[in-house]
């Protein structure tokens, strides 16, 4: 059997695998997530956020249409901040000790005295830049502004 036949046979199985673990050294984690701005949840099931519809999707942290889970695959776990930054139409930045999250072009800057960003994992506050995500975790980002 030549190399092309083997590669073709293996690659034809990948669509069937979906987000399941193919290789032992790869991560296969998922959990729930909510992002809430001034009491209003962001609709994370919208097509523009889903891996199937995004031009800049990442296998390391992503959503799939048809469910409300986050998925993390790859060789290394990502932090909460990295996960947010990898999502289509989202961004994360840190300026000094302040968190800045951008959603659909609107920035929420923690250095603004009227803006607060709080990151929760399983109801406990965490530092999103150092907390590495694990399978089954419930993530929540709450953003409050003075508006």
| pTM score of the predicted model | 0.79
Q: What is the DSSP string of 105-129?
A: TEEEETTSTT-EEEEEETTEE--TT
pLDDT greater at residue 102 or residue 15: 102
Residue pLDDT, tens place only, 91-113: 999 999 999 999 999 999 999 99
pLDDT greater at residue 66 or residue 123: 123
pLDDT greater at residue 53 or residue 106: 106
Share of the chain above pLDDT 70, in %: 79
Residues 6+ apart with CB under 8 A from 87: 49, 58, 61, 62, 63
- Out of 51-60, 67-76, 128-137, which region has the weakest mean confidence (pLDDT)? 51-60
Q: State how far the Cα of 119 lies from the Cα of 124, in Å rounded to an integer.
A: 8
- Asked if residue 121 has pLDDT above 90, the reply is yes
Domains, the chain: 25-144 (2.170.130.30)
- Of the spans 15-19, 30-34, 47-51, 57-61, which averages the highest pLDDT? 30-34
């Amino acid at each position: 059997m030549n190399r092309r036949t083997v590669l073709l046979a293996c690659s034809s199985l990948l669509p069937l695998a979906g987000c399941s673990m193919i290789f032992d050294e790869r991560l296969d984690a998922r959990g729930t997530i909510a992002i809430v701005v001034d009491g209003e949840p962001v609709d994370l099931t919208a097509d523009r956020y889903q891996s199937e519809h995004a031009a800049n999707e990442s296998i390391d942290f992503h959503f799939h249409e048809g469910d409300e889970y986050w998925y993390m695959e790859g060789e290394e776990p990502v932090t909460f901040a990295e996960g947010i930054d990898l999502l289509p139409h989202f961004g994360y930045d840190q300026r000094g000790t302040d968190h800045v999250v951008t959603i659909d072009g609107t920035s929420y800057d923690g250095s603004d005295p009227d803006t607060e960003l709080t990151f929760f994992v399983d109801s406990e506050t965490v530092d999103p830049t150092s907390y590495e995500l694990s399978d089954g975790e419930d993530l929540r980002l709450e953003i409050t502004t003075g508006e």
